[in-house]
A = this chain, B = another copy of it.
Amino acid sequence: MSFNTFGKLFRFTTWGESHGPAIGCVVDGCPPNIKIKENDIQLELNKRKPGQSKFTTQRKEDDKVEILSGVFDGKSTGTPISMIIYNKDMRSRDYETIKNKFRPGHADFTYYKKYGIRDYKGGGRQSARETASRVAAGAIAKKVLENKIGKKYQVKGAVTQLGILGCDVKKWDDKYISKNPFFSPDKSIVKLWEKYLLSIRKAGSSCGAIIEIRAKGIPVGLGAPIYSKLDMDLAAAMMSINAVKGVNIGSGMSSAQLTGEQNSDEISQSGKNTKFKSNNAGGILGGISSGQEIIISFAVKPTSSILLSRKTIDKFGKNTSISVKGRHDPCVGIRAVPIGEAMMHCVLLDHYLMHAAQCKS
C-alpha cells in the first residue's frame, strides 16, 4: 500500500498542499555514510524552480529546502531523512472562481467526488507543487548512486518535443540542455520553439511536450521479474507525474511497427565488453537492465488551466464556464524534466538495493 509513498527499499513519502504552510518528504532506506548536504538538494530543486523564464509559470517558488533528520555530521545515518520546504508567494488571489467550479482537465471533479471535500487553494494536493518533494528525494538517490557506482553514473533528461515540434534527438548534446530555457538537447530547434511557445502563450492556450530521460553507467542485473520489472517500475514512476499520459521504453509505441529482425538488438562481444548493435529495448530486457543506456520517454499533456473559456459544471451540478486568470504556464511539460530525472534516480537506487539483497548478499 502506498498512497503517498514511492519505492520498496528506497522509499519516499511526500505530503503537503500547494497553499498549505509547507510541503515535504520523508526518505526511508537511504544507506548510511553517504555525504549529503542541503545544497546538493537545493541545486536539483533550483532546476525545477518556476519563474525562471517567460516560458514557465511566474509563481516565485523559492523552494528553500531544510533537512530535519537522518543526516549527522554531514553524513546519512541510515535513519529517515525528513525534508521540508515552506510555501511562499501564495497570492491571495480570487479563489472564488475555482472554489466551486471544476476546471476541465484537472482533478477538481474527481477529488471532490471521491472525497466529498477538497482543498481548492492552488489545487491543494493535486498541484504539481508536490513534485518538488520528489526532486528532493531524487537528489538523495543520486548522491547514493554516485557513491556506489561512481562517476560513470549519469542521468540526463531533456524535452524532445514541444507541442507539434519535435527536436532531432540525434543532435542530443548533454551540455546544451541546461543552457536553454526549454531543456532542449538540440540547439537547432530552440529558436523555433521560442516562437511557437510565445504564440501559444499569446493565444491564452497551452501545449504538451515529450520528455526523454537517459541513464548511463547502469550495471547489468537491475530489475526483477515479474512484478518488479525495472521498466514496469519506471513506467509507473513517470505515469505518477502530474499530467503524464504516455510512457515509452526504448522504441516504445513505435516498436509495434518494427519487424522482429529490426527490433532485436544484436549482441556481440569484444574482449570484456558486451555490445548491442542498437537499443530498441531501451536498455531493459525481460524487466532487467542489460548494461546499455536506459532510455525512457513520456508525454505531458498541455496545461489544463488556460485563459480561454471552457464549459464545465460546478459542485452543485450546474452548467457554467471557466477561464483561468492570472499566472499561466503555457507548457508544464518543460518543468517535468528534473522530475523525470528524480524519479529515474529513485527507481534505479531502489533496484540497485534489491539486486544487492537478492543476488549479492
Contacts and interface: CB of A to CB of B under 8 A. Distances in A.
B258 A226 contact: no
Contacts of A181: none
Interface centre among A84, A246, A258, A290, by most chain B C-beta atoms within 10 angstroms, is A246
Contacts of A200: 259
Size range of the interface on A? 35 or more
A42 interface: no
A224 B2 CA distance: 9
A318 B78 CA distance: 25
A326 interface: no
A329 to B, nearest CB: 10
Interface in A13-40: 13-17, 20-24, 26, 28-29, 31-33
Nearest to A110: B288
Contacts of A72: 17, 117-119, 124
A352 interface: yes
20 contacts: A4-B26, A4-B80, A9-B357, A15-B79, A17-B79, A105-B285, A109-B285, A110-B220, A110-B288, A113-B288, A114-B288, A163-B256, A208-B258, A229-B239, A245-B255, A245-B282, A246-B253, A255-B299, A268-B311, A356-B356
